[in-house]
Structure 1
Amino acid sequence: MTVTPTPFSLNAVPEIHFSAGRSRRLADDVQAVAPGAGKVLLVADGALVELGSAAPMVRNLEESGATVGLYADIAGEPKAAQIDAAAEAARRLGAGAVVALGGGSALDIGKVAAAIAPAGKDAMHYALAAQPLPAGGLPAICLPTTAGTGSELSATNIFSGPAGKKLWIWGQETKPRRVILDPELTLSLPPQLTAWTGLDAFVHALEACTNRHANPGNSPTCHKALALIAGALETAVRRPGDLAARGDMLLGSAFAGIGIDNCGTAVAHNISHALAGLAPIHHGLATALGLEITLAWSAAEDDGCFAAAARACGLTSAEDLPGWYSGLMTRCGVARRLPEAFRSFDAAALAAEMRAAENQPMRLASAREVTEADIDRFAGAMMALA
């Protein structure tokens, strides 16, 4: 009997350069992606600037003769106004390149600002694919300082609009020309954020290789991400200065970013995005909690994808995953508790957000059909943590 191969397509991956200390060659990287660029906009997390973590990058660029502009009005989840402000900063400077330094918020803001700056339109012009992204954006370089979102390798960029709702801009045009993975940049990440961001990366990899869009071209990358994260996260949380564990987490996060860029996410992300529509919450924590609530249900009708993911984590079967994952959360010190702001909402409010149009792609991609009753049940379990 002839078996027809499963068709699939994979998206382009930017250049990736990995090594400890690699960020100290930033000026060379800028010239590689934007030859002759004499003005560079650095988009960075405000906290990194306050801690002095961005200063070596600025010095490196200035010593090469570049004029450096800085946009660092970034805290919490990214917002459309921040993207617009960063794009305007690039235009005022006459930047020939954009460097994005930080966690997922800074990376998403920098990527989109670089893509839209030359065209002069604001972020809302492109939100939810209302208009195609312009060609000819500024060359960008991403340097993640957390091992979580994988934004440096994803064409999906999440932000809040003027009304506070989660929106997205998707397009290969937003990808950077080059990604610098330097585990030294993640050493200062405190244990709680290491846990939250690391679990976010784990969920990315797991959902990308088990949802309805999973394919045999993408799943091996996700499985490698799961193996790296499963082997390194607890060490990175307990021994923050362990450079080997930090390196494995950074690679795992990057590979997970490739995974969701190709196959997207599923119900745990439907829940986490819905939570963010109600009140501020760290995305990694929201996603980690969303997976714990849904994992046993998702894996109950496994077609083999969850079993393969379990083996990547060093487990025997799909049935082992939920208990092992809950144990990992506990060992990493994750409290099953929503921020106090969520006490103002009930399960019905969260369920309504889970049903919102912008969250339906994640619901529909889930391994199992997410029924109306499932939404109500998951919402109730989540809001019981408030």
Structure 2
Amino acid sequence: MTFSPAPFSLNAVPEIHFGPGRAQALAADVQAVAPGGSSVLVVADAALVALGLAAPIQRALEAAGASVTLYAEIAGEPKAAQIDAAAEAARHQGAEAVIALGGGSALDIGKVAAAIAPAEEDAMHYALAANPLPARGIPSICVPTTAGTGSELSATNVFANTAGKKLWIWGQETKPKRVVLDPELTLTLPPHLTAWTGLDAFVHALEACTNRNATVGNSLTSHKALALIAGALATAVKEPQNLAARGELLLGSAFAGIAIDNCGTAVAHNISHALAGLAPVHHGLATALGLEATLAWSVKTDDGQFAAAAKACGLAGADQLPDWYSDLMTQCGVARRLPEAFKIFDAATLASEMRAPENQPMRRSTAREVTDADIDRFAAALMTLA
């Protein structure tokens, strides 16, 4: 006798606390994850510090009796050296809790630093699962200020080595004890970053429910993420102070983070990681461009997964997804253009990066077989944007 639906498993989800202004209660969150703890390391994006978003949180923690150290040497994509510096700051301080505040870079750096700080090894010791993570790290709390990566709910953490190559550290040990979703913290995100990060979250949700790893249990989360992001992204870009849209986008990003934590991504992320291996590019932009270049190809062999995703977006069928997605990018003002640094590269170089060992899991998980000819064609399409 066959069983339907197919068996599946879902990973643990940290405690999630959502609400406008919720970040002002972080002192209580620290006590919840580290009872009696009074030494807190805050890992934050440098841009947030410049905008003054980190200061109220630091003051609230100090008013509650915490000793706070701020590590904010973070700009651009996360780097191994930044993880190591944050972990050393935690050791030096004797941190009893780590708060990661910011976009995906700050969240990944804070999560991994908290996980490895009790040991003396650097981040590269754990890269690509070369060695197991410490069994017990410093309790962490993630507070995202962008609605994109979903890193606050994912066990995958991406960073670059000294040569600029994108690597990853994976492990349930890196997940935070608690996630605080406060849409007020996203109100100052500029329109172009709102678009790029929001599209990144959309791709997470879409790939998680349409790739080879997709399950009926995870698709519930993916489809809700798609519906929230599809309904709120353009509004959040055009009306930055629209708190309702910001809240829906933040929730959609979080749900998409849960989705990729369980089922991973696919070919659009193979492309974006390959692009990042060549030159600096915002991950959200690269992923958005990667999906646009591959979506029409993907839906041609749909087994029903893309049709279900399209329905979640309010569409009648999978064949409508490519044009609808391109229109969403246009509504959000996304320029189909790679940074100037890519002009020195050709399609063959990008194709080689797409074939790199570290990018093969995303290629293999794609529902439709990605042939070498497909890679060459996708790489050529992307490099016309340089």
Aligned to 1:154: 154
Aligned to 1:58: 58
Counterpart secondary structure, 1:210: coil
- Contact 2:272-2:290 within 8 A present in 1 as well: yes
Give the residue type in structure 1 aligned to 2:69.
G
Separation of aligned partners in 1, 2:46 and 2:160:
18
Instruction: Show the 5 A alignment for 1:171-320.
Output: 171-320=171-320
Q: Residues 197-238 of structure 1, C-alpha deviation per residue, up to 9 Å, x if partnerless? A: 000000000000000000001001000000000000000000
Give the residue type in structure 2 aligned to 1:248.
E
Aligned to 2:70: 70
Aligned to 2:168: 168
Separation of aligned partners in 2, 1:104 and 1:2:
41
Aligned to 1:121: 121
Separation of aligned partners in 1, 2:193 and 2:208:
22
Separation of aligned partners in 2, 1:204 and 1:99:
24
Q: Residues 335-386 of structure 1, C-alpha deviation per residue, up to 9 Å, x if partnerless? A: 0011010000000000000000000000000010000000000000000011
Q: Residues 268-302 of structure 1, C-alpha deviation per residue, up to 9 Å, x if partnerless? A: 00000000000000000000000000001011000
Aligned to 2:49: 49
Sequence identity (%):
79
Instruction: Show the 5 A alignment for 1:325-364.
Output: 325-364=325-364
Counterpart secondary structure, 1:131: coil
Separation of aligned partners in 2, 1:187 and 1:162:
34
Separation of aligned partners in 1, 2:92 and 2:140:
17
Unaligned runs of 5+ in 1: none
Counterpart secondary structure, 2:11: coil
Give the residue type in structure 2 aligned to 1:67.
S
Deviation at 1:188, TM superposition (A): 0.2
Aligned to 1:32: 32
Q: Residues 39-80 of structure 1, C-alpha deviation per residue, up to 9 Å, x if partnerless? A: 000000001111111001100110011100010000000000
Counterpart secondary structure, 2:31: helix
- Contact 2:195-2:233 within 8 A present in 1 as well: yes
Give the residue type in structure 2 aligned to 1:360.
Q
TM, length-normalised to structure 1:
0.99
Give the residue type in structure 1 aligned to 2:186.
T
Q: Residues 235-255 of structure 1, C-alpha deviation per residue, up to 9 Å, x if partnerless? A: 000000000000000000000
Q: Residues 86-120 of structure 1, C-alpha deviation per residue, up to 9 Å, x if partnerless? A: 00000000000000000000000000000000112
Unaligned runs of 5+ in 2: none
Aligned to 2:382: 382
Separation of aligned partners in 2, 1:23 and 1:197:
21
Give the residue type in structure 1 aligned to 2:318.
A
Separation of aligned partners in 2, 1:338 and 1:2:
49
Instruction: Show the 5 A alignment for 1:124-135.
Output: 124-135=124-135
Give the residue type in structure 2 aligned to 1:180.
V
Aligned to 2:365: 365
Separation of aligned partners in 1, 2:311 and 2:151:
26
How many residues are paired up?
Answer: 386
Separation of aligned partners in 2, 1:340 and 1:219:
38
- Contact 2:159-2:167 within 8 A present in 1 as well: yes
Counterpart secondary structure, 2:143: strand
Give the residue type in structure 1 aligned to 2:329.
M
Give the residue type in structure 2 aligned to 1:122.
D
> RMSD over aligned Cα, in angstroms?
0.7
Counterpart secondary structure, 1:369: coil
Counterpart secondary structure, 2:370: coil
Counterpart secondary structure, 1:269: helix
Separation of aligned partners in 1, 2:170 and 2:368:
25
Separation of aligned partners in 2, 1:162 and 1:343:
22
Separation of aligned partners in 1, 2:254 and 2:308:
20
Aligned to 2:102: 102
Deviation at 1:2, TM superposition (A): 5.5
Counterpart secondary structure, 2:117: helix
Separation of aligned partners in 2, 1:323 and 1:41:
45
Separation of aligned partners in 1, 2:337 and 2:161:
26
- Contact 2:5-2:216 within 8 A present in 1 as well: no
Counterpart secondary structure, 1:335: coil
Separation of aligned partners in 2, 1:367 and 1:197:
24
Deviation at 1:3, TM superposition (A): 4.2
Deviation at 1:163, TM superposition (A): 1.6
